Chains A and B, each alone.
Chain A
Amino acid sequence: MEILFVGLIGLFFAAAVYLMLSKFTIRILLGIVLLGNGVNLLLFTAGRITREVPPIIPADASTLGSVAANPLPQALILTAIVISFSFFAFLLVLTWRAFEELGTDSTDEMRLAEPRDEPLPPTGY
């Protein structure tokens, strides 16, 4: 089961990197979504994938045995999902505004803040 997940995570990461290397903002955004989900799956897999065993520590032990999944990574994922979702919502609106204001979704053409023909500083007094 874990091996399957590892392959899937690799696929997620590869697709995310490929999309983020694009110069169009919407593809970069899709890459970021895939990356966030890939990371969540990664954390999930790292905490063991087992079925139907509640994470209860027996009375004579002080740590959880390896039969149950570790619940902490799942708690971490919940936090990460909330954060990445809100960031994605913000980025989506920002990208839309950028498209409206700048009239382009190509990062190559976004040169308003860093103009190509900016004058050099004076060389003499």
Chain B
Amino acid sequence: MASPSTPVDLAAAMVTTAPALADWLVILPTALMILSGAALMMIRKSVRLHAVIAIAALALLVLIDALLLWQVSSNGPVTMTMGGWLPPFGISFTADMFGAVMALVSALAALSAAVYSLRDIDTSGLRHGFFAFLLLLMAGVSGAFLTGDIFNLYVWFEVLLISSFGLLILGSEPKQIEGALKYAILNLIGTTLFLITVGYLYAIFGTLNMADIARKAGALRGVTENAPPLMTLSALFVLAFCMKAAAFPVNFWLPASYHTPRITVSALFGGLLTKVGIYALIRVTIMLLPVEREAISLVIAASAVLTMILGALGALAQNDLRRMVGYVVIVGIGNMLAGVAIGSSTSVSGAILYALHSIVTMTALYLVIGEAGRLAGTFELSRLGGLWRRAPWFSAASLALMLAAAGLPPLSGLWPKVMLLKASLDIGAWWLAAAILVSAFLVTLTLARTFLLAYWRPAPGGESEAVAATDWHSTLPIGLLAALTVFFGIYPEPLLAISQAAADGLADPSAYIRSVFPEGAAP
């Protein structure tokens, strides 16, 4: 090898100093999940070790995400760029308040679901790699929440999608294969749309780094001659992410598939996957393209109204509890979309708070339904009954979670709904406020009826012989999640402050940009 003829100044292209120790926190969640997921694949046949390793890894993930959130809230956004290349040339991971808090809450939900899965997933499921898929799913989810590069976001979407396919068909029942086919095809089309949009975005901006896009967007908007088609970008992004988030009219894959897999898998999907779509939607429309979002806000609002009303009516019409919860997930998506459509500071923080609340309650609600179905031996509302007498503590936790999902005080569902209502009344969108209230009323009816029929009334046809008992596999995660909703319902200040800080960080991304480009916010 000949030595270079001219001396090369590495500092112009590369980071020459070692990154601070705290910066590693931003990459650790994804790295840990990929490594432990790969380790589980290598010991696929020693199924006894799987649960121990996976639960330890998820507990560590919760710890790391909590440290990351603490670091972000005390010192501002954290950035690390891969390979030591200076941004925007290297792929950046950037954690701001929004990403960090979403990552922490989803890690908590995944840990709870993993504990519940100890009894729900049989040896054959373990052999087919349930925990490996779960950890890789969390790698995708954490990566999506923490990445600062839009093409990288696409890659994480694919990572979580392929892991979700694996989880969805665990068991290979005909019903599952049918649900998985519809889920896989529609989600694949959604991510392909996302890829098209990323291609257009690179053609317009010449960069994929989100901080770089945010600081260049202002200058590009000023161009009047041969104006760049930013509206096209915004419309395509909204369509692609609405497909991922299950917003009407592109949400029919959700009720077709979410009730088919094991209940733990439903809980993970209902809690996490749609919220990743909402996260990406908020990240792109509020932080990167706010002006273009304003132009199509009426379309988003119409989709939000239809999503929540039709979702609530769908929930009301279901006899199968698992399908009912699927529609309740859709109602929540409608509420978050309403927050995105309004786009004010209150509404965005309301949408973020709703997303956090929804991750916890939807995961918990699926677990509750699963446990109710296991105790009674059926998921059909017409045949359920007598659960209150058999498991009073479990029933109390169920009631709390159902009221939280319906948005009744004093539980965590109340506060985001109040913020969204206030935000929509502030801009005079009474019809949006009315839709939020009507859908909340319909969900209250649905869940109250579920409680009345499945828990309060005596079991139809007398007490069944096979009395399954609740044990710590189910009471621990359900109790933990129910305690979270009760605690943050009564004492919401910390979460309100976090979601407000997250919304402020999106509305004014200068701290985000400074974290990636320390030399200044101007290009």
Contact = CB atoms under 8 A, between A and B. Distances in A.
A77 to B, nearest CB: 9
B189 A20 contact: yes
Interface in B235-263: 255-257, 259-260
A118 B319 contact: yes
B118 interface: no
A68 interface: no
A121 B317 contact: yes
Contacts of A14: none
A6 interface: no
B178 interface: yes
Given A76-B202, A86-B162, A120-B317, A91 B184 contact: yes
B184 A94 contact: yes
B48 interface: no
A32 interface: yes
Contact of B202 (A29, A46, A91, A112): A46
Given A35-B192, A39-B195, A113 B320 contact: no
Contacts of B453: 121-122, 125
Interface stretch (B54-62, B167-175, B278-286, B488-496): B167-175
B326 to A, nearest CB: 11
Interface residues of A, number: 40
A120 B317 CA distance: 6
B85 to A, nearest CB: 13
Nearest to A43: B199
Contacts of A35: 189, 192
A36 B193 CA distance: 10
A39 B192 contact: yes
B174 A112 contact: yes
B319 A119 contact: yes
B179 A94 contact: no
Interface string B178-208: 1111101100110010011011101100000
Nearest to A111: B178
Given A91-B185, A121-B318, A102 B255 contact: no
Given A46-B200, A112-B178, A121-B317, A80 B172 contact: no
Chain B interface, >50% SS class: helix
Contacts of B188: 32, 87, 91
B175 A113 contact: yes
B319 to A, nearest CB: 4
B317 A94 contact: no
Contacts of A52: none
Contacts of A83: 155, 158
A35 B195 CA distance: 11
A98 B178 contact: yes
Contacts of A25: 181, 185
Interface string B198-232: 11101100000000000000000000000000000
B429 interface: no
B181 A39 contact: no
A114 interface: yes
A36 B192 contact: yes
Interface in B446-475: 449, 452-453, 457
Given A79-B155, A113-B259, A121 B196 contact: no
A114 to B, nearest CB: 6
B378 to A, nearest CB: 12
B177 A90 contact: no
Interface in A33-65: 35-36, 39, 42-43, 46, 59
B151 interface: yes
A94 B180 contact: yes
Nearest to B172: A97
Contacts of B181: 25, 91, 94-95, 98, 110
Interface string B18-35: 000000000000000000
B162 A90 contact: yes
B199 A28 contact: no
16 contacts: A39-B195, A76-B199, A79-B151, A83-B155, A84-B192, A87-B161, A87-B184, A87-B188, A94-B180, A101-B177, A101-B178, A107-B182, A113-B175, A121-B318, A122-B319, A125-B457
Given A91-B185, A94-B165, A119-B319, 9 more contacts: A39-B195, A73-B199, A87-B162, A87-B188, A94-B177, A98-B181, A113-B179, A118-B319, A122-B453
Interface of A: 20, 25, 28-29, 32, 35-36, 39, 42-43, 46, 59, 72-73, 76, 79-80, 83-84, 86-87, 90-91, 94-95, 97-98, 101-102, 107, 110, 112-114, 118-122, 125
**Minimum-distance CB pairs A-B, first 3:** A101-B174, A43-B199, A46-B203
